[in-house]
């Protein structure tokens, strides 16, 4: 097996590095964490730069507006943008990493033409309307109801943990279109405009003080039937496509960031004397090995996804999500050991990252759900009763 980079890939890396070195100093100052309109504008501006330079949608197929890059070029892009400290997708993450790829895989030609170019250009932001107060891990028990009325669905219900709802233009929304059907078979996947009458958004404040989540209330909201992606009542299958992207490839940039953080932790420990603790050194060494293995698994998942029909990641994404969630939590627990009393200060970036890491074993499917998927779909074990 040849693991060396081709001349074309090396040229891609060199051109990307040159472009990043040119444009990053030109970026405006990052807005305050509480300034969501400012953060949206900042993230959209970065996405527009990527689009104009030909780097937007590297992981999307060409017929969806993507660049048709190879899996290796996609990974090189992630490595180089993280190394350079470039902005992440930010408020655009649902559209770029979840909704957009789902529409690319499952939408009609008209739907792809309508929704995908604005996502790639940074013109429109999406949020995710999946979880409900009584439908978290058991997502298929959702109750938000959509009743057909001519060419529209009339939607009533509520959602929670709706990422970036406060600045979103569109919502990938799961609704129950057949309450009499078995719970997994009566669901539909809709694209809902967030400015539709009857949509109310209330921000939720996290442990770290941020408000990137919201609860959303839907009071007889009308959504055109033409906004349904996939067949009516086939939304659970479409949702599995969305979750495959969320678990399989959406976290790849974060693995690169965690590997960089690990190096910074080692340098900080050497500077403040914590490096003299052999237990801490062993822990850092083991984490180095874990994140190295996770990066290899990431490379495999991205390669498999981009070779599959529609570019949909396989169930290996659950293996990655399970391992990554726990490794990330241990990474920032270790950061607290390195920082000592400083780890109690919210002024420390690693403190905020540690608080954020607590959600990773819940978000995008709990670790318990991922273990069930691995047990049943990979190991072939029987379902629990």
Residue pLDDT, tens place only, 300-340: 766 665 555 555 555 666 777 778 888 888 888 888 888 88
Q: Considering only CA atoms, which of 119, 102, 115, 321 is closest in space to residue 230?
A: 102
Would you state the structure tokens that stand for residue 171, as one six-digit string? 């919502």
Cα 357 off chain centre by: 14
> Rounded to an integer, what distance in angstroms lies between the CA atom of residue 70 and that of residue 6?
12
Q: Considering only CA atoms, which of 317, 336, 208 is closest in space to residue 255?
A: 317
> Rounded to an integer, what distance in angstroms lies between the CA atom of residue 159 and that of residue 165?
10
Q: Residue holding tokens 């969630």?
A: 325
Q: What is the model's pLDDT at position 132?
A: 93
| Contact call for residues 186 and 178 (beta carbons, < 8 A) | yes
> Rounded to an integer, what distance in angstroms lies between the CA atom of residue 381 and that of residue 58?
37
> Rounded to an integer, what distance in angstroms lies between the CA atom of residue 258 and that of residue 248?
17
- Report yes or no on whether pTM surpasses 0.85: no
DSSP tally for the chain: helices H, then strands E: 12, 8
Q: What is the model's pLDDT at position 146?
A: 98
> Is 9 a known active-site residue?
no
Q: Which residues contact 8 (CB under 8 A, 6 or more apart)?
A: none
Q: What is the model's pLDDT at position 34?
A: 78
> Rounded to an integer, what distance in angstroms lies between the CA atom of residue 194 and that of residue 114?
16
> Rounded to an integer, what distance in angstroms lies between the CA atom of residue 219 and that of residue 158?
9
> Rounded to an integer, what distance in angstroms lies between the CA atom of residue 125 and that of residue 385?
41
Q: What is the model's pLDDT at position 118?
A: 96
> Rounded to an integer, what distance in angstroms lies between the CA atom of residue 218 and that of residue 175?
11
Q: What is the dihedral of CA 326, 332, 333, 338, to 10 degrees?
A: 150
Low-confidence ranges of the chain (pLDDT < 50): 1-2
Percent of the chain as helix, strand, coil, to the nearest 5: 55, 15, 30
> Rounded to an integer, what distance in angstroms lies between the CA atom of residue 305 and that of residue 297?
12
HEC-encoded secondary structure of 41-76: HHHHHHHHHHHHHCCCCCCCCHHHCCCCCCHHHHHH
* Given 80, 82, 246, 304, the catalytic residue: 246
Q: What is the model's pLDDT at position 2?
A: 44
| Contact call for residues 215 and 163 (beta carbons, < 8 A) | no
Q: What is the model's pLDDT at position 52?
A: 95
Q: Considering only CA atoms, which of 190, 36, 17, 67 is closest in space to residue 44?
A: 36
| Contact call for residues 57 and 99 (beta carbons, < 8 A) | no
DSSP H or E segment with residue 353: helix 349-357
Q: What is the model's pLDDT at position 243?
A: 76
């Amino acid at each position: 097996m040849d693991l060396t980079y081709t001349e074309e890939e090396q040229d891609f890396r060199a051109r990307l590095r040159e472009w990043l070195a040119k444009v990053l100093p030109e970026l405006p100052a990052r807005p305050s964490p509480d300034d969501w309109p400012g953060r949206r504008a900042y993230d959209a501006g970065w996405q527009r730069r990527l689009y104009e330079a030909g780097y937007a949608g590297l992981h999307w197929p060409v017929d969806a507006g993507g660049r048709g890059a190879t899996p290796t070029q996609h990974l090189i892009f992630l490595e180089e943008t993280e190394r350079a400290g470039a902005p992440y997708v930010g408020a655009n993450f649902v559209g770029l990493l979840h909704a957009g790829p789902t529409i690319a895989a499952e939408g009609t030609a008209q739907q792809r033409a309508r929704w995908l170019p604005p996502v790639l250009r940074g013109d429109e932001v999406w949020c995710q309307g999946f979880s409900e107060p009584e439908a978290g891990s058991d997502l298929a028990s959702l109750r938000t109801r959509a009743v057909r009325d001519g060419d529209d669905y009339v939607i009533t219900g509520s959602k929670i943990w709706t990422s970036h709802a406060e600045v979103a233009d569109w919502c990938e929304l799961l609704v129950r279109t057949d309450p009499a059907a078995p719970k997994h078979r009566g669901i539909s996947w809709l694209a809902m405009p967030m400015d539709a009458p009857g949509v109310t958004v209330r921000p939720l404040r996290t442990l770290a003080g941020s408000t990137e989540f919201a609860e959303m209330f839907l009071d007889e909201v009308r959504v055109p039937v033409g906004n349904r992606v996939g067949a009516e009542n086939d939304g659970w299958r479409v949702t599995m496509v969305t979750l495959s992207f969320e678990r399989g490839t959406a976290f790849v940039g974060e693995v690169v960031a965690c590997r960089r953080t690990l190096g910074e932790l080692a340098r900080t420990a050497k500077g403040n004397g914590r490096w003299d603790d052999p237990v801490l050194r062993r822990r850092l060494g083991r984490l180095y090995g874990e994140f190295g293995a996770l990066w290899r698994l990431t490379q495999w998942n991205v390669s498999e996804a981009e070779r599959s029909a529609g570019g949909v990641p396989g169930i290996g994404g659950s293996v990655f999500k399970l391992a990554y969630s726990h490794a990330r939590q241990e990474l920032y627990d270790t950061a607290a050991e390195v920082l000592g009393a400083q780890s109690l200060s919210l002024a420390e970036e690693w403190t905020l990252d540690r608080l954020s890491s607590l959600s990773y074993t819940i978000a995008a499917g709990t670790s318990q759900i991922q273990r069930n998927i691995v047990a049943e779909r990979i190991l072939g074990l029987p379902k629990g009763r």
